[in-house]
Structure 1
Amino acid sequence: MAIPKLTAYTLPEASELPVSKVNWEADPARAALLIHDMQEYFLGFWGENNAMINQVVNNIATLRQHCKQQGIPVYYTAQPKDQPAEDRALLNDMWGPGLTKSPEQQAVMAALTPDKDDTVLVKWRYSAFHRSPLEQLLKESGRDQLIITGVYAHIGCMTTATDAFMRDIQPFMVADALADFSREKHLMALNYVAGCAGQVVMTQDVVPLPASKGHLREIIRPLIDEEDEPMDDENLVDFGLDSVRMMALAARWRKVHPDIDFVMLAKTPTIDAWWALLSREVRV
């Protein structure tokens, strides 16, 4: 009846994403970010210092930083530590007492602590819209897109995406900024949303530019073959970065800097040189 002990799995990669029936793009003027149920209680089922959860948290933090830079409002959901039986109702039948038996774990995890300008919504059911002012707040701020991250993908996140769709709010499920009971359930949630309710994306689709030189290094690390970490001024080709991956990076970054192409990146393939290109002021 309670949430089981959970184990890590490999997060979905871009090549594995289901093809969405729609072709929406997140627009900073229309979007809001939802950080769903990232409370210590729900993350505790993976144990401490779980590599998969750390990756999810890093991706959510990257999205959150990007949204704040772009003026995109950030919303959180969090279950209250006090839930009378009449409020919890059928959740007791399905999941037992839940958070009410672990009130000390009610807080959002420290790495994602809300700022004073973020909005924390009290969470009563799977959907973030249930008994909350989320829809009204989105309408008042002229927002009709919702970027969804957090846990658990096949329960609250998928239900919120479906509910958003039924309220004419475009949901975006960020595949590598979600976690679930298993990889199978995670992929099921992505397939359902892609086929029935919204757009499935990766963090890099929402945040095309790295937030810092360190973030750029994190992006490049999985793309090279060598175990040694390249220095900022070393040629990335010497570390196994191939032309196909470089072209993919150019296509991604060209969304913000239209002049970036493969030739420009290949001319000086170093972290220093690329950060100089990417950190330029964006021309509007």
Structure 2
Amino acid sequence: MALPKIQPYSMPVAADLPQNRVAWTPDPNRAVLLIHDMQQYFLNAFTLGDSPVNELLTHIRALREQCRKLGMPVVYTAQPDGQTPEERGLLLDFWGEGINDHPELKHVVPELAPEEGDIVLTKWRYSGFRKTNLAEIMQESGRDQLIVTGIYAHIGCLMTACEAFMQDIQPFFVADAVADFSLENHQMAITYAAQRCAVTLTTERVLTYLAPAQSQAEEGSSFNIEKIREQVAGLLNEAPESITDEEDLINDRGLDSIRIMSFVEQWRREGVEVTFVELAERPNLASWWQLIASRLRVPVPNLDYFGR
């Protein structure tokens, strides 16, 4: 019942990601970074020094450093050694003694070792919320978004994302900052997340959301046309620069009513009142930005460029 030996496989890239059903975006004032079970015991199942481990470590490290710079909470989960049969529960039937057999491997890998100020939770079940105070930590800090990274994608990472969703916490499943038993398991996890409980996106996309968010806050407005472009691109898994201001997002990009409605709900939560009909009548970035700007009563730049 030991962990399987995991063969190298290529880490998914942006082009491999499924379409998301919702348009949530990570916000450094709302999000917590979760580094899930990155213990040596679990990592040793992979071929170290090869894909997907190389990308996994690099991407989690980049996200951790950016989150720390922004003052965002960084939370680790780690399974303990020395578990009694009662503590291990049904995990014993599926996975045997686990770390009990290798207590020297219980520590988080050195490349990602927790630092002062990070939170380390002892984890007892697949979900990072079971038998921990993760939900309380998030509630007390006023956080309602969870950026999920770590291993294994289709087990603990996915179960944690599902439970976050069921507690009205928006999960972000970072497709190239998780890893799994196989590419098939990995792809299954990110597809399920995108279709049922989370937004699936790349490390690069998360960093683009987090990095400009601070400067936008300093400028006094969290909305501009580039943010809208990023949100649309994230939902369609397209490069932001490939989406022009005037193209028809319904007919040219296949944006459906469910995804348009997700923008309505997202922007309302951010204080912008728009309706589905308003967005569907003029489904292009230029029109949407003009509509949002009018509701926010902020100047709309480059009106001549938009042809208004």
- Is TM (by shorter chain) over 0.5? yes
Q: CA deviation at 1:209?
A: 8.8
Q: CA deviation at 1:52?
A: 2.1
Question: 5+ unaligned residues in a row in structure 1: which ranges?
Answer: 212-244, 249-284
Which residue number in structure 2 is paired with residue 82 of structure 1? 82
Structure 1 168/209 Cα, relative in aligned 2: closer, same or farther at 3 Å? closer
Which residue number in structure 2 is paired with residue 214 of structure 1? none
3-state SS, counterpart of residue 45 of structure 1: coil
Which residue number in structure 1 is paired with residue 188 of structure 2? 188
Determine the C-alpha separation between the residues in 1 that align with 2:117 and 2:210: 23
Determine the C-alpha separation between the residues in 2 that align with 1:120 and 1:247: 38
Determine the C-alpha separation between the residues in 2 that align with 1:170 and 1:246: 22
Structure 1 34/209 Cα, relative in aligned 2: closer, same or farther at 3 Å? closer
Question: 5+ unaligned residues in a row in structure 2: which ranges?
Answer: 212-238, 243-308
Determine the C-alpha separation between the residues in 2 that align with 1:100 and 1:59: 29
1:134-283 superposed matches below 5 A: 134-208=134-208, 247=241
2:106 aligned with 1:121: no
Determine the C-alpha separation between the residues in 2 that align with 1:49 and 1:19: 31
3-state SS, counterpart of residue 117 of structure 2: coil
Amino acid at match of 2:26: A
Determine the C-alpha separation between the residues in 2 that align with 1:105 and 1:151: 15
Determine the C-alpha separation between the residues in 1 that align with 2:192 and 2:145: 18
Determine the C-alpha separation between the residues in 2 that align with 1:56 and 1:48: 11
Which residue number in structure 1 is paired with residue 7 of structure 2? 7
Which residue number in structure 1 is paired with residue 99 of structure 2? 99
Which residue number in structure 1 is paired with residue 42 of structure 2? 42
Amino acid at match of 1:19: Q
* Deviation per residue, 1:45-89 (Å, 9 max, x gap): 114323420211000000000101111100000000111110001
Structure 1 18/132 Cα, relative in aligned 2: closer, same or farther at 3 Å? same
Determine the C-alpha separation between the residues in 2 that align with 1:157 and 1:20: 17
Which residue number in structure 2 is paired with residue 112 of structure 1? 112
Equivalent residue pairs, number:
217
| Structure 2 contact 25–209 (Cα < 8 Å) conserved | no
Structure 1 197/209 Cα, relative in aligned 2: closer, same or farther at 3 Å? closer
Structure 1 25/117 Cα, relative in aligned 2: closer, same or farther at 3 Å? same
Determine the C-alpha separation between the residues in 2 that align with 1:137 and 1:105: 27
Determine the C-alpha separation between the residues in 1 that align with 2:240 and 2:95: 47
3-state SS, counterpart of residue 208 of structure 1: helix
Determine the C-alpha separation between the residues in 2 that align with 1:158 and 1:47: 22
Determine the C-alpha separation between the residues in 1 that align with 2:123 and 2:42: 13
Amino acid at match of 2:35: I
**TM score, norm. by length of structure 1:** 0.73
Structure 1 246/33 Cα, relative in aligned 2: closer, same or farther at 3 Å? closer
* Deviation per residue, 1:92-130 (Å, 9 max, x gap): 100111111000000000000001100000010000000
Runs of 4+ deviating beyond 4 Å: 245-248
* Deviation per residue, 1:182-228 (Å, 9 max, x gap): 000001001111111010010011112999xxxxxxxxxxxxxxxxx
3-state SS, counterpart of residue 208 of structure 2: coil
CA RMSD of aligned residues (A): 2.0
Which residue number in structure 1 is paired with residue 24 of structure 2? 24
| Structure 2 contact 26–210 (Cα < 8 Å) conserved | no
| Structure 2 contact 32–74 (Cα < 8 Å) conserved | yes
